[in-house]
Amino acid sequence: MSTPTRRDAVKNRAGILDAATAAIGHDPRASIDTIARRAGLSRRALYGHFDDREAIIREVIAAGAARFNAIANGIADADSRIALARLASELWREAAHVQAAAALALDDAHLPETSAALAPLRRRIDAIVRRGQDAGELRTDLPAPTLARLLEETGRMVVARVDAGSSTARSIAVCAVLGIAGLSWTEARALLEQHPDLEAQ
C-alpha cells in the first residue's frame, strides 16, 4: 500500500510533467524556472523529482510520442484520404497533450529523441501514403517517403503552432494535411462534409 509521502511524490511528479507540457507547448525552450512556477513548486523542489531540465524533456517527449503513436495505430480507414484526415483530426483532439511533443519535434536540439520516439507514427504515415499513391488517391509527383515526411512535418507544425482555441483550427489542420497530400481546398472541405465525424468535438 502506498504511503501518503509516496502518493504525494507521484502527484508532484505528474504535476511537473503537466506543467512542463503546457510550458513547452507554448515555448519549446521554456526554462526550468518557468516549469517550476507553473507546477507551483520551487526550483529546488522540482530538482527533487528530476535531475535536470533534459530529464523532464525526455519524459515529455516520451509521453507525447506515445499519444501520437497510439492515435496513428488506431487509424484503419481504407481510403487513404480519410485515413490522413482522421489522423490529423485525432491528433488535433489531443492537441492539449501533444502540442509540447509537436513543438519539441520541430526543435533541432531534440531531433534524435523525437525521431526515435515517433518511428511508429512515421511508419504508419508511410504505409498510408504508399497505399494511397497505389490507389490513385494521393499525389504521385513525389516519392512516397518524401510525401510522408512532408505530411508528418505539416501535421506537427500545425498542431504545434495553430491556436487550439480557434473554432476553425481543427478544420484548418485537417485541410492543411490534405492539401499537402494533393487535394484542393474545395476537395478537402467536401471530404469533411461527407464525414462530419472528422470535425466533431
Highest mean pLDDT: which of 49-53, 76-80, 111-115? 76-80
Identify the residue with better confidence: 169 or 70: 70
CA–CA separation, 156 and 105 (whole Å):
7
Taking the CA of residue 171 as centre, how many other CA atoms within 13 Å lie in the half-sphere pointing to its CB?
A: 16
Domain 58-198 maps to which CATH number in 1.10.10.10, 1.10.357.10, 3.90.10.10, 1.10.287.10?
A: 1.10.357.10
Query: How sure is the predictor about 155, in pLDDT bands with cuts at 50, 70 and 90?
Result: confident
- Looking at residue 141, what DSSP letter applies? S
Mean pLDDT of the chain: 84
Task: Give me the residue spans of the domains in the chain.
Answer: 1-50, 58-198
Task: Report the SS3 class of residue 136.
Answer: coil
The closest of 7, 162, 14, 18 to 91, measured between CA atoms, is: 162
| Cα(70)–Cα(89) distance, integer angstroms | 14
Write phi, then psi, for 118 (nearest 5 degrees). -95, 15
4 vs 102, more confident: 102
Query: Taking the mean position of all CA atoms in its chain, how far away is CA 165?
Result: 16
- Predicted confidence (pLDDT) per residue in 24-55, tens digit: 877 878 899 999 999 999 998 999 999 998 89
Mean pLDDT is lowest, of 58-72, 127-141, 160-174, for 160-174
What pTM was estimated for this model as a whole? 0.77
Q: Flag whether pLDDT at 3 surpasses 80.
A: no
Cβ atoms of residues 42 and 36 within 8 Å = yes
Mean pLDDT of 126-132: 97
CA distance 45 to 188: 49
Q: Report the C-alpha gap between 92 and 95 in whole angstroms.
A: 5
